[in-house]
Amino acid sequence: MQKTTEIENIRHSFAHLLAASVQKCYPKAQLGIGPVIENGFYYDFGNLQITDEELPRIEKEMRAIASQDLPFKKELWPSSKAAAHFKKEKQPYKVELIKDLKTQKVGMVYTGNAFLDLCRGGHVKNTKELPLEGFALNKVAGAYWRGDEKNPMLTRVYGLAFLTKKELEEHIRQEEEAQKRDHRKLGKDLGLFTIIDEIGPGLPLFYPKGAVLRRTVENYIIEEQEKRGYVPIWIPHITKGKLYKISGHLDKFDAMYPPMKLKGEDDYYVKPMNCPHFMMLYKTLLHSYRDLPLRYTATTTNYRYEKSGELSGLTRVRALTQDDCHVFCAPEDIESEIRLMLDMIQKVYEDFGFHDFWVRISLRDPKKRQQYIGFPKNWNIAENALRTVIQNTGMKWAEALGEAAFYGPKLDFMMKDVLGREWQLSTIQLDFNLPERFELEYTNSEGKKARPVVIHRAILGSTERFLAILIEHYAGAFPLWLAPEQVWILPISDKFLAFAKKIREELLQKDRNLRVIVREENETLGKKIREGQIQKIPYLVIVGEKEEQQGTISVRDRQKGDLGQTTLEAFSNMVAEQIQRRQ
């Protein structure tokens, strides 16, 4: 904990130096906010138009200020005095911040005697303590003031800060690798998906290869679910507002699109969540304890109004598809049902090549009870049940206050990719409250009415986000079983095109699901091979005169290179075995 506090103070101190330097280089710049973030810091500026090319000048000035051994000194000022100061300095964003704080006094921090900023604190004592060898400015971006697209667009300058030069260099190396793996770039280069302005931000469209990848992932999940007794349902994409009034979403969920108002009809909403539909479908039928647990599942798309400044490729979208599942069970079945889910999650992660993960037990914040629905007694039961189940598994876990859904606590699965970045994937939510609000019932073994418990579960989380993680984890070089195009057949010339098509048909006779493409373009073999490497095709099958005469094929492996000649039978068996093993 001490090291975390130390590096946060260092990063926050660098943010002050950044603001001081920008003001010196660009005196008319207006100061916004400058918080600490993971791996560094940033500062937002109004009335400033700069590009990355100007960062060296600002960084040089920061180093010059730091070399003066200036102390950081905090004072408490009356809010009115601080507001008057920033009004005089023509800093409207600071004045706004002070007004919104609604406190009698605010923190004002001096860097030496020349620069004064609004701040609650958290700095080194003197600029000489800053590890200048572990710091660098790295990019400029646009950002709406306070994250609201209705506000002015400011210029955000980002910086990196670490305790040592080695840590900085390692992070920069990782960032360069991350850029190579960026799913937005690879999505374009590999022809997987696109986002079109005329359709709207956060609404991705998938090309054939991306659609095949998407279908492969979703069909795999469906197959694994059905092995475990989950049954499919289907639900519509719009619903009356009264449904979300019952569930609490209208009061507690802030990413819903406005209602569709039709003359003489109820308000309708595009669905941001599936839970209420599942509840109503359950409620339409009579249920006995013999019917439970009832495992309903649907792969379906939701629509959420995410702020445009927060949208990013497939990781943050407005149309997100969930492999959603709701299990209706008796309280005594909670542990066994969650264990069934944990078994599936571990199997899925293993098959997709995700090996480093831990479980976050996401709990309510007891200081913010107004954010949640239901009775404290039910919350206590649900939270303790999740603790018990996960502690008995031997998995790595930690608790997090304030991360629960508004209707119940949950288990969030946090996975590290090959670059060490952490992502939230699967979630399991234990819910005593929505069954209460929807008045769900079943007849127990004593013939009496009882309330079921609902366990919400998604393995992928959202298909779009999962695909983004998958693309970056493999840098687009998917395992054979996932590759949208698994085999390219490359005839040396048009003379051998008929033989190439014959090879394709014979491969498909052995496995109709194999994804095989004959490249018929009138191009050189070398160009076709290079294109196959760029497109990260697992296997290139080359056919020419020698192969036609001998009834063989020449195979090139994406990783191992040229494998030489082999029989079609041997190649087909090798490919089938790899697909069966999810390789």
Q: What is the DSSP secondary structure assignment for residue 495, as one 8-state letter? A: G
Hey, is 197 helix, strand or coil? Answer: coil
| Distant-in-sequence, close-in-space partners of 113: CB < 8 Å, separation ≥ 6 | none
CA 157 – CA 3 distance, rounded (Å): 25
What the block records as the tokens of 186 is 């690879």
Kindly list the distances between the CA atom of residue 435 and the CA atoms of 148, 370, 466, in Å, as whole numbers in the listed order.
35, 19, 29
CA 565 – CA 224 distance, rounded (Å): 37
Say if CB 131 and CB 3 are below 8 A apart: no
CA 217 – CA 268 distance, rounded (Å): 32
Unique residue bearing structure tokens 């609490």: 248
Q: Which H/E stretch holds residue 509?
A: helix 497-510
Say if CB 120 and CB 96 are below 8 A apart: no
| Distant-in-sequence, close-in-space partners of 179: CB < 8 Å, separation ≥ 6 | 185
Q: Strand ranges (DSSP E) for 126-266?
A: 135-144, 153-161, 193-194, 205-206, 231-232, 238-240
DSSP-assigned letters across all residues of 445-503: TTS-EEPPEEEEEESSS-HHHHHHHHHHHHTT---TTT-SS-EEEEESSGGGHHHHHHH
What the block records as the tokens of 250 is 């209208």
Q: At what angle do helices 55-66 and 2-25 cross, to 10 degrees?
A: 110
Q: Which of 200, 322, 312 is nearest to 272 (CA)?
A: 322
Say if CB 121 and CB 79 are below 8 A apart: no
Reported residue count of the chain is 583
| Distant-in-sequence, close-in-space partners of 11: CB < 8 Å, separation ≥ 6 | 36, 37, 40, 41, 159, 161
Kindly list the distances between the CA atom of residue 421 and the CA atoms of 1, 94, 353, 357, 460, in Å, as whole numbers in the listed order.
21, 34, 15, 11, 17
- Active-site residue set: 275, 304, 322, 324, 326, 410, 456
Ordered strands of the 539-543 beta sheet? 516-518, 487-491, 539-543, 553-557, 561-566
Q: How many C-beta neighbours within 10 Å does residue 383 have?
A: 20
What the block records as the tokens of 305 is 């109004």
CA 539 – CA 490 distance, rounded (Å): 11
